[in-house]
């Protein structure tokens, strides 16, 4: 009997360790998406597919890394420059989905790949530890004409929480911040994804958290602390049916910001808000861009 118990305990420990390691790898080194993925999934392969002019760029990042991107000409010559921060497992082609919503308000829009994503030369992403500094490096790599304009930071999902931290760390660099379906705590999307697959959070969250804490990736993670540090307008768009990043965390971010605005999208799901209620989405964008003009 004792041997059987030890066998079950050993098996449980192995499952916990292997499962937690798989979660860590999925987060910090997701499967990269490329041009072929865009073609296969009928995504825009170039800003020209959206009827917009653009030129390719390569941005130098800290740590001797680089990332490709596009500098896209928007439809408002007098508007701000918009830096778009994509979500986890996404890439520049995926980020182009949001360009049609933002282009009417912007003079230029900039998209690029996070570490561990797309064609960024960095192998690992850090959940928001180094990524805010990468975003600033992309801004610093823009021509003076674009960089000296008011800058609006737009991020969705993972890019949303990074946008809040970036604005909190560099509040003087941004005229406004827009986040779509963000999250506040590091483990929120992991817990909800595990729940969707009927996998218990314990002990995986605890083991993943132990690794991330030891690596310095989740210390002082709560994004409301960064929202408090950003004095400009912060617009949070969030769907009531978001099963990846709960709407309560988006509201927390808006409530924490000195000039936060929270716009719920009834029935909206993760990364689909502009499709499910384009009128409300566009109206909220219009108000923010009007405020900073």
Could you tell me the domains of the chain? Answer: 46-185+221-292 (3.40.50.1820)
pLDDT confidence of residue 9: 81
Q: What are the pLDDT digits (tens) for 208-250?
A: 999 999 999 998 999 999 999 999 999 999 999 999 999 999 9
At residue 238, the 3 state secondary structure works out as: strand
Name residue, tokens 């405020």. Answer: 291
pLDDT confidence of residue 202: 93
Query: Tokens in use for 266?
Result: 């009834």
Alpha-carbon distance of 260 to 258, in angstroms, equals: 6
**Which residues pair with residue 57 across a beta bridge?**
69
Q: Is the pLDDT of residue 3 over 80?
A: no
Backbone angles phi, psi at 106, to 5 degrees: -115, 150
Q: Rounded to two decimals, what is the model's pTM?
A: 0.96
Query: Tokens in use for 64?
Result: 């001797």
By C-alpha distance, which of 251, 287, 79 is closest to 179?
Answer: 251
* Contact between 57 and 83 (Cβ < 8 Å): no
Query: Tokens in use for 148?
Result: 């000296």
Question: Per DSSP, which regions of the chain are E strands?
Answer: 54-61, 65-73, 81-85, 108-112, 151-156, 176-180, 233-239, 259-265
What letter does residue 150 receive in the DSSP assignment? -
């Amino acid at each position: 009997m004792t041997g059987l118990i030890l066998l079950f305990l050993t098996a449980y420990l192995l499952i916990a360790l292997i499962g937690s390691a798989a979660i860590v790898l999925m987060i910090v080194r997701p499967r990269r998406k490329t041009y072929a993925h865009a073609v296969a999934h009928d995504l825009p392969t170039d800003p020209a597919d959206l009827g917009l002019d653009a030129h390719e760029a390569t941005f130098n990042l800290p740590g001797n890394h680089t990332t490709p991107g596009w500098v896209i000409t928007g439809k408002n010559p007098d508007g701000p420059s918009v830096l778009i921060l994509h979500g986890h497992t996404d890439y520049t082609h995926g980020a182009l989905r949001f360009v049609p919503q933002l282009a009417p308000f912007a003079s230029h829009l900039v998209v690029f790949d996070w570490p561990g994503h797309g064609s960024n030369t960095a192998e690992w992403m850090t959940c928001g530890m180094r990524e805010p500094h990468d975003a600033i490096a992309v801004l610093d790599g823009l021509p003076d004409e674009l960089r000296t304009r008011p800058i609006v930071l737009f991020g969705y999902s993972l890019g949303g929480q990074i946008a809040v931290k970036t604005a909190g760390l560099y509040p003087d660099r941004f005229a406004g911040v827009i986040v779509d379906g963000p999250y506040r705590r590091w483990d929120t999307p992991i817990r909800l994804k595990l729940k969707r697959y009927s996998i218990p959070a314990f002990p995986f969250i605890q083991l993943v958290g132990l690794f991330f804490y030891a690596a310095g990736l989740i210390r002082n993670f709560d994004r409301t602390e960064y929202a408090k540090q950003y004095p400009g307008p912060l617009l949070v768009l969030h769907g009531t049916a978001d099963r990846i990043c709960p709407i309560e965390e988006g509201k927390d971010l808006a409530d924490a910001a000195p000039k936060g605005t929270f716009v719920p999208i009834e029935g909206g799901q993760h990364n689909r808000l502009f499709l499910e209620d384009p009128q409300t989405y566009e109206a909220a964008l219009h108000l923010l861009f009007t405020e900073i003009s």
